[in-house]
């Protein structure tokens, strides 16, 4: 039983699907097909997608609703499995994994940022950031320290005890980003991260992603807004379950300077405290 084991003496071998990989391609889709079986009719959600995203890329996946981008998002996030074809994440074929193994993959390799934030209510920002680390069985002290660091990084160092309903939308999304970074996943996957935010907060959030990208993270943003996609360095467009274009973005939006974020937050925090 997991619950009676002491996490400090836990010495479990890392399963092969979780080992660090050094392949250049973080994401590789090969002839990926997703079929929705609704009983009477079968709907093709994704039609033979071939796609590669390298480590360190900052990518936008665009498309109207019904274009298949949400389906792709679910598969990329290992919440769902492809019907046919292969999805290699960090060199591991996810089609062969069990639901519990997929849970581990989501835990260690993917950092989710959702449109509706998806923080757990009545649970402090700090506890929310700790959740992925709890499921990774990291020691309590380490969890707390890292969660505080991450909240500091997204400019919420002083608000770690706040409940989600005491935070603004932009702040909630920043908590979500801190949570996504908790287990140092190789992939940050954001599904319409600015969909519920005003323009100013949207820009803030995208600046954080840009910053993470500069630090070397692989960031995939699913969106239908052009000016959000404009922050990224590569834009992949979807329509009817197929890729219709895949182009680099030569002039990604850049606001402010290197230390813009810190300055901006400090100013804001000070302003709010007064």
Partner 1 sequence: MLFENMSMAFHAIKANKMRAFLTMLGIIIGIGSVISIVSIGDTLRSMFTDIYKDVGLTQAYIGIGYWIEDVHQSDYFNLDDLDRMKEVFGDEIAYIDSGASASSKVQAGRINMDFDFTGIDYNYIDVQPVTILSGRYLNEGDILGRKKNVVIEEESAVKLFGTADAVGKTFRTTIYGYTDEYNIVGVYRKEMSPFMKLMMGGSSDRGTALIPYTILTWPNDYFYYCHVFAKEGIDLQNFFDRLTAYIAKIKGRQPEDYSQTTAISEMGSVDSVMGGISAAVGGIAAISLLVGGIGIMNIMLVSVTERTREIGIRKALGARTRDVLIQFLTESALMSACGGALGVALAVSLVSLGGMAFGIPVVIKPSVVILAVSFSAVVGIFFGLYPASKAAKADPIEALRYE
Which residues of this chain interact with partner 1, rule CB under 8 A? 2-5, 7, 74, 77, 79-80, 99-100, 103-104, 106-108, 112, 114, 118-123, 131-132, 134-137, 140, 179, 183
CB of 6 to partner 1, least distance (A): 9
Residue with smaller CB distance to partner 1, 74 or 249: 74
CB of 34 to partner 1, least distance (A): 12
CB of 103 to partner 1, least distance (A): 5
Could you give the dihedral angle defined by the CA atoms of residues 18, 19, 21 and 26, in that order, rounded to the nearest 10 degrees?
Answer: 10
Report d(CA 77, CA 91) in Å as an integer: 15
Residue with smaller CB distance to partner 1, 112 or 238: 112
Residue with smaller CB distance to partner 1, 160 or 231: 160
Residue with smaller CB distance to partner 1, 89 or 229: 89
CB of 189 to partner 1, least distance (A): 10
Residue with smaller CB distance to partner 1, 121 or 274: 121
Which H, E and C letters describe the chain, residue by residue?
CHHHCCCCCCCCCCCHHHCCCCCCEEEEEEEEEEEEECCCCEEEEEEEEEEEEECCCEEEEECCCCCCHHHHHHHHCCCCCCCEEEEEECCEEHHHCCHHHHHHHHHHHEEEECCCCCCCCCCCHHHHHHHHHHHCCCCHHHHHHHHHHHHHHCCCHHHCCCCHHHCCHHHHHHHHHHHHCCCCCCEEEEECCCCCCCHHHHHHHHHHHHHHHHCCCEEEEEECCHHHHCCCCEEEEEECCEEEEEEECCCCCCCCCCCHHHHHHHHHHHHHHC
Residue with smaller CB distance to partner 1, 51 or 180: 180
Residue with smaller CB distance to partner 1, 119 or 187: 119
Residue with smaller CB distance to partner 1, 135 or 265: 135
Report d(CA 217, CA 187) in Å as an integer: 7
Report d(CA 81, CA 99) in Å as an integer: 9
CB of 74 to partner 1, least distance (A): 6
CB of 3 to partner 1, least distance (A): 5
Report d(CA 34, CA 86) in Å as an integer: 11
CB of 247 to partner 1, least distance (A): 30
CB of 55 to partner 1, least distance (A): 21
């Amino acid at each position: 039983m997991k619950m009676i084991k002491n996490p400090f003496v836990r010495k479990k071998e890392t399963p092969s699907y979780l080992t660090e990989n050094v392949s250049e391609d973080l994401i590789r889709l090969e002839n990926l097909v997703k079929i929705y079986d609704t009983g009477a009719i079968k709907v093709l959600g994704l039609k033979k997608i071939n796609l590669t995203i390298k480590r360190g890329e900052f990518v936008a996946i665009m498309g109207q609703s019904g274009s298949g981008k949400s389906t792709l998002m679910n598969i990329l996030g290992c919440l769902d499995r492809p019907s046919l074809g292969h999805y290699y994440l960090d060199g591991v074929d996810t089609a062969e994994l069990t639901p519990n193994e997929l849970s581990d993959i989501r835990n260690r390799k993917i950092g989710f940022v959702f449109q509706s934030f998806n923080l757990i209510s009545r649970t402090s920002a700090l506890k929310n950031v700790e959740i992925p680390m709890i499921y990774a069985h990291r020691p309590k002290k380490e969890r707390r320290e890292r969660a505080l660091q991450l909240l500091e990084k997204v400019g919420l160092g002083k608000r770690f005890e706040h409940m989600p309903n005491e935070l603004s939308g932009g702040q909630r999304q920043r908590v979500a980003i801190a949570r996504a970074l908790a287990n140092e996943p190789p992939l940050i996957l954001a599904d319409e991260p600015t969909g519920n935010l005003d323009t100013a907060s949207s820009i803030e959030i995208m600046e954080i992603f840009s910053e993470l990208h500069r630090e070397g993270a692989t960031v995939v943003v699913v969106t239908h807004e052009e000016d959000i996609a404009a922050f990224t360095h590569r834009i992949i467009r979807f329509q009817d379950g197929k890729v219709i274009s895949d182009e680099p973005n030569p002039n990604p939006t850049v606001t402010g300077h290197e230390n813009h974020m810190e300055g901006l937050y400090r100013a804001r925090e000070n302003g709010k405290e007064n």
